[in-house]
């Protein structure tokens, strides 16, 4: 069954909403300069601890642009978080340093799709050797904005890259309850792990919507 990750959470009640709908991972932003859902360290810690309450998830993910492993080490020491999602363009060497923070750290490396191609395609093997556990395909806008853009991911760009992967992958970029069929060939791949959503999990005010989250999880966690 595909996993569902919802990103950009800023309120404890939103975590409760995700838990009620069986969401598997919650993305909590830290050190995302100018990001609309960036959290100060104390707030990040509090939400990470809230996510870990109980046995039903969602598991917290540190989502960051930071390239300094010490910043990430301090965050992980403040809360029971073992997943780090690296946005931006860190080198494989940076990934290796992040993996060295602790034996149980898992790294999600975003692979950015821009202008019909994957920016890091030539580095996939190097990232795997550095210790990436999961890849996440996401869209970069033409003006360079990265993450939570709401722009649709083109499956035709991703499909030729799957032969390069030996690690599982997530899909992000305009994923919603209405477009699973568009990604049928990717969903059928044995390394497909699940989806990451942000914009389409929100209502018109920008807050996480229980109805939207429920609709997304219902469609993507089905066997259809």
Q: Give mean pLDDT in consecutive 10-residue pieces for the chain, a chain of 224 residues.
A: 96 96 97 92 97 87 95 95 94 97 96 91 98 95 60 91 97 94 96 96 95 98 77
Q: 3-220: which CATH topology? A: TIM Barrel (3.20.20)
Rounded to whole angstroms, the Cα distance separating 148 from 150 reads: 6
SS3 46: helix
- Can you give the pLDDT at residue 146? 64
- Can you give the pLDDT at residue 144? 55
Domains of the chain, by residue range, sit at: 3-220
- Can you give the pLDDT at residue 149? 62
- Can you give the pLDDT at residue 148? 58
- Can you give the pLDDT at residue 154? 92
> In angstroms, what is the C-alpha Rg of the chain?
16
Rounded to whole angstroms, the Cα distance separating 80 from 33 reads: 23
Instruction: Supply φ then ψ for residue 209, to 5 degrees.
Output: -105, 125
- Can you give the pLDDT at residue 115? 83
């Amino acid at each position: 069954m595909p996993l569902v990750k919802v990103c950009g959470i800023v309120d404890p009640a939103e975590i409760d909403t995700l838990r009620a709908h069986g969401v598997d991972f919650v993305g909590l932003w830290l050190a995302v300069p100018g990001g609309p859902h960036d959290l100060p360290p104390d707030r990040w810690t509090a939400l990470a601890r809230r996510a870990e309450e109980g046995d039903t998830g969602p598991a917290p993910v540190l989502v960051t642009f930071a390239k300094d492993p010490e910043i990430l080490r301090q965050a992980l020491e403040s809360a029971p978080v073992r997943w780090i999602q690296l946005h931006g363009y860190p080198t494989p060497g940076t990934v290796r340093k992040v993996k060295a923070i602790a034996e149980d750290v898992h790294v999600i490396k975003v692979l950015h799709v821009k202008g019909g191609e994957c920016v890091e395609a030539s580095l996939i093997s190097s990232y795997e050797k550095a210790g990436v556990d999961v890849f996440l395909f996401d869209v970069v806008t033409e003006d360079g904005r990265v993450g939570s853009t709401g722009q649709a991911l083109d499956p035709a760009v991703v499909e030729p890259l799957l032969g390069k992967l030996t690690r599982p992958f997530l899909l992000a970029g305009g994923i919603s309850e209405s477009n699973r069929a568009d990604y049928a060939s990717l969903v059928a791949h044995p390394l497909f792990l699940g989806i990451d959503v942000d914009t389409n999990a929100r209502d018109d005010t920008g807050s996480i919507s229980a109805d939207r989250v429920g609709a997304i999880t219902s469609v993507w966690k089905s066997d259809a």
